[in-house]
Structure 1
């Protein structure tokens, strides 16, 4: 629920002036509000321009791990040696996973 922080706040006098019936009706109005949900069928017919990648192949040149790199045993990403934080049980751990 969005909150407008620029609106003036109610004082204690304003809160005491609200009747119980008015507060109950506000609560019922809020709970009765409907949520707008998009149906799956509507999105199914929607086609984005250039989105058909079914015939495309991803061509990436993969380099082997270099001597100054290590594989973190927590996230399994290859990092430069400068990112080595510690070794747990002889397993290298990067700075991100150690934090």
Structure 2
């Protein structure tokens, strides 16, 4: 059975939905009833004190056949090169696209 995608949509209760109908927004404040003028001064995440921690990670240098995209600054394989600029810099296919 063909579907007419240009026809207005109707809900199961028979009411039609329009794109101009406003959607009610939920409250964005995590605490509930905070006004814009309210200031949360001493809100700390549990276990968030990382001042005494050291970060250790192994950094691998860029390998042959890889490039750094000048759009997103991520390292990609050369097969994902989308554009090579006049100055030799490269953009990945996601940034070109």
| Both proteins in one fold, TM over 0.5 | yes
Structure 2: where are the runs of 5+ without partners? 1-10, 17-32
**One of 39, 46, 60 as aligned partner of 2:43:** 46
CA displacement 1:4-58 (0-9 Å, x = unmatched): xx6846xxxxxxxxxxxxxxxxxxxxxxxxx942622xx3222221111111121
Moved over 3 A (4+): 6-9
Structure exhibiting the larger radius of gyration computed from Cα positions: 1
* Count of aligned residue pairs for this structure pair: 67
TM-score by length of 2: 0.56
Answering whether residue 80 of structure 2 is matched by residue 83 of structure 1, we say yes
Distance 1:93 1:47 in 2: 40
Unaligned runs of 5+ in 1: 1-5, 10-34
Which of 47, 57, 62 aligns to 2:59? It is 62
Deviations 1:53-80 (A, max 9, x none): 1111211111110002111122222111
How big is the shift at 1:85?
1.0
Give the alignment partner of residue 37 of structure 1, picking from 28, 35, 38.
35
The 1-side partners of 2:60 and 2:44 are apart by 36
RMSD of aligned Cα (Å) = 2.4
SS in 2 for 1:44: coil
